[in-house]
């Protein structure tokens, strides 16, 4: 019963404007994203079925949000697996609900549930074309074993993608290896793995490609000390640990207790060790503390407008006001400058899921000017197709991503390095597609990548 009530509470929060889907789901102790997303996707259909069956009139104590969640799982999901009295209530009305669904299909002249959905209900702007990206968690398995697992599940592996257009054309049960990131598999949009054993066991991470770029470009060497400054929900922290091969130390900060608790559970499930979580505002962390004297790498993904996020569910979110953008940019400049003040820092990656220049190029340009010649902007991924806006000389070294151009969420990434002795570290940065080294191996641009060793642990069905 608690699962469905929690999902209904998320729907109510969305209607009140209390936050976006991911933010509200993350506050719950239940794995709700798939259930809430699909309920929202089918919402217009559910309203017709509920109206035709007169369920809300028959059950006065049943809220519209809870009714939608229950009926979605009953008719379109995998069946009601829990729910106590609500499960019994929904089953009492099952025949009437199924009959109303059948009548709706006849009226629409369709035979499949999916055909009841209008194109606009498949997700927000751009959602229908963004593939499902799956990052292989190399702390627990390897790419080859995961590919073999999905083949046994009936999927067809098409090899490594040669272009973004190949990703765009994916359909059915086909998948590819990404053309840019070596541990990223790509499936058709709307593919759902939230109940898959590889996901629930931490062998794979459902993470958008653009969100994988910051840790990949930070590329800390095994044994390094790293800070993840604004860490929750923790996918980037886990990615850093995989790159470090669990050799080193990660200091992860976030201000929200619940988010850190959930993050700790997720990191443990992913097999991450060598990390310290702290409920602390990164701005209050003392760069002079001996604890952080060896921190050479910082990943900084601060709070932003989220304007680049592509909703897979039809939930409209208002554009941020000019005042809100200025306030965010002020915070972002402050936290970026603070990150650069750590004495042993060699490389920092700044990223946002925002499309706004105010939060991206303008922030980086202002902080570089503030620090003078101490740091430089690195052209970290020359093969990446979308570059920074021309806000200042050299801004094209920054990376941008979008649903239209890179088939990802909207994203911005900048790599900053300390000048002088730290400049040599740039040799270990990842390079363009086709010449991508294994993380931390220091492969020169253009050198042949080393052959991957297969992990001992194998994925079992």
Give the DSSP H/E element, type plus range, for residue 277.
Answer: strand 275-279
Query: Considering only CA atoms, which of 371, 363, 417 is closest in space to residue 395?
Result: 363
As a whole number, mean pLDDT of residues 332-348 equals 98
Residues 6 or more apart whose CB falls under 8 angstroms from that of 377 comprise 364, 368, 394, 395, 397, 398, 414, 415, 416
Task: Write the pLDDT tens digit of every residue in 132-150.
Answer: 999 999 999 999 999 999 9
**Whole-number pLDDT of residue 126:** 53
**Whole-number pLDDT of residue 348:** 98
Q: What is the dihedral of CA 335, 341, 342, 343, to 10 degrees?
A: 170
**Whole-number pLDDT of residue 288:** 97
**Whole-number pLDDT of residue 3:** 78
Q: What percent of the chain has pLDDT over 70?
A: 84
Task: Write the pLDDT tens digit of every residue in 9-19.
Answer: 888 888 877 76
**Whole-number pLDDT of residue 424:** 42
Question: Which phi and psi (to 5°) does residue 295 adopt?
Answer: -70, 110
CA distances (Å), origin 202, targets 133, 134, 182, 270, 273: 15, 12, 18, 4, 14
Query: Considering only CA atoms, which of 60, 207, 63 is closest in space to residue 130?
Result: 207
291: helix, coil or strand? helix
441: helix, coil or strand? coil
Q: What is the DSSP string of 142-180?
A: -HHHHHHHHHHTTPEEEEE-SSHHHHHT--TTEEEE-SS
As a whole number, mean pLDDT of residues 101-128 equals 71
- Angle, vertex CA 290, rays to CA 286 and CA 296, nearest 5: 80
Give the bridge partners for 427, in sequence order.
none
Does residue 241 carry a pLDDT above 70? yes
As a whole number, mean pLDDT of residues 200-205 equals 95
Does residue 429 carry a pLDDT above 70? no
pLDDT-wise least confident of 201-205, 274-278, 289-293, 430-434: 430-434
- With b for 16 or more beta-carbon neighbours within 10 A and e for fewer, the 254-287 pattern comes to bbeeebbebbbebbebbbbeebebeeeebeebeb
Q: Give, to the nearest 10 degrees, the angle between helix 94-108 and helix 43-53.
A: 120
As a whole number, mean pLDDT of residues 153-169 equals 95
Query: Considering only CA atoms, which of 170, 209, 173 is closest in space to residue 192?
Result: 173
Based on the residue annotation, tell me whether 353 is a catalytic residue of this protein: yes
Question: Which phi and psi (to 5°) does residue 400 adopt?
Answer: -125, 155
**Whole-number pLDDT of residue 223:** 96
Does residue 356 carry a pLDDT above 90? yes
Q: What percent of the chain has pLDDT over 90?
A: 52
Distance between CA atoms of residues 93 and 99, nearest Å: 10
Does residue 308 carry a pLDDT above 50? yes
Task: Write the pLDDT tens digit of every residue in 255-301.
Answer: 888 788 888 989 999 999 999 999 999 999 999 999 999 999 999 99
**Whole-number pLDDT of residue 123:** 46
Give the bridge partners for 377, in sequence order.
416
Which of 23-32, 85-94, 267-276, 301-310: highest mean pLDDT?
Answer: 267-276
Distance between CA atoms of residues 162 and 434, nearest Å: 9
Distance between CA atoms of residues 252 and 373, nearest Å: 28
Does residue 6 carry a pLDDT above 80? yes
**Whole-number pLDDT of residue 297:** 98
Task: Write the pLDDT tens digit of every residue in 379-425.
Answer: 989 889 999 999 999 999 999 999 989 999 999 999 999 998 544 44
Q: What is the mean pLDDT of the chain?
A: 85
Count of helices and strands (H, E) across the chain = 17, 13
C-beta separation of 362 from 391 below 8 A:
yes
Q: What is the CA radius of gyration of the chain?
A: 23
Q: Which of 142, 353, 386, 398 is catalytic?
A: 353
Distance between CA atoms of residues 229 and 346, nearest Å: 15
As a whole number, mean pLDDT of residues 210-216 equals 97
């Amino acid at each position: 019963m608690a699962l469905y009530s929690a999902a209904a509470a998320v729907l109510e929060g969305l209607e009140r404007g209390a936050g976006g889907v991911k933010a509200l789901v993350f506050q719950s102790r239940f794995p709700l994203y798939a259930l809430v997303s699909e309920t929202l996707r089918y919402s217009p259909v559910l309203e017709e079925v509920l109206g035709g069956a007169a369920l809300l009139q028959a059950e006065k104590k049943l809220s519209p949000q809870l009714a939608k969640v229950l009926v979605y799982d009953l008719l379109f999901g995998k069946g009601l697996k829990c729910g106590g009295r609500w499960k019994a209530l929904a089953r009492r009305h099952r025949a009437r609900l199924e009959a109303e669904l059948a009548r709706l299909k006849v009226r629409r002249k369709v035979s499949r549930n999916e055909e009841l959905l209008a194109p606009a209900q498949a997700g927000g702007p751009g959602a229908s074309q963004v593939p499902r990206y799956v990052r292989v968690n190399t702390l627990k398995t390897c790419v080859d074993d995961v590919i073999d697992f999905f083949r046994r599940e009936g999927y067809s592996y098409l090899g490594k993608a040669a272009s973004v257009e190949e990703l765009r054309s994916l359909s059915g049960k086909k998948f590819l290896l990404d053309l840019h990131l070596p541990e990223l598999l790509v499936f058709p949009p709307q593919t759902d793995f939230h109940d898959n054993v590889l996901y629930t066991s931490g062998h794979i991470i459902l993470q958008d490609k653009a969100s994988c770029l910051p840790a990949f470009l930070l590329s800390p060497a095994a044994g390094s000390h790293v800070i993840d400054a604004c860490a929750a929900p923790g996918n980037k922290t886990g990615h850093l640990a995989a790159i470090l091969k669990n050799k080193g130390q990660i200091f992860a900060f976030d201000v929200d207790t619940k988010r850190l608790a959930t993050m700790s559970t997720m990191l443990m499930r992913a097999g991450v060790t060598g990390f310290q979580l702290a409920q602390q505002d990164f701005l209050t962390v003392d760069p002079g503390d001996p604890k952080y004297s060896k921190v050479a790498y910082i990943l900084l993904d601060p709070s932003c407008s989220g304007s680049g996020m592509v909703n897979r569910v039809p939930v409209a979110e208002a554009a941020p006001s000019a005042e809100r953008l200025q306030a965010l940019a002020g915070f972002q400049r402050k936290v970026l400058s603070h990150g650069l003040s750590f004495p042993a820092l060699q490389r920092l990656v700044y990223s946002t899921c925002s499309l706004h220049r105010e939060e991206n190029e303008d922030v980086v340009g202002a902080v570089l000017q503030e620090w003078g010649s101490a740091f430089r902007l690195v052209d970290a991924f020359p093969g990446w197709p979308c570059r920074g806006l021309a806000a200042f000389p050299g801004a094209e070294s920054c990376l941008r991503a979008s649903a239209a151009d890179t088939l990802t969420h909207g994203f911005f990434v900048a790599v900053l390095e300390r000048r002088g002795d730290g400049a040599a570290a740039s040799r270990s940065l990842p390079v363009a597609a086709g010449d991508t080294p294994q993380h931390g191996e220091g492969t020169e641009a253009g050198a042949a990548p080393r052959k991957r060793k297969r992990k001992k642990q194998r994925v079992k069905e």
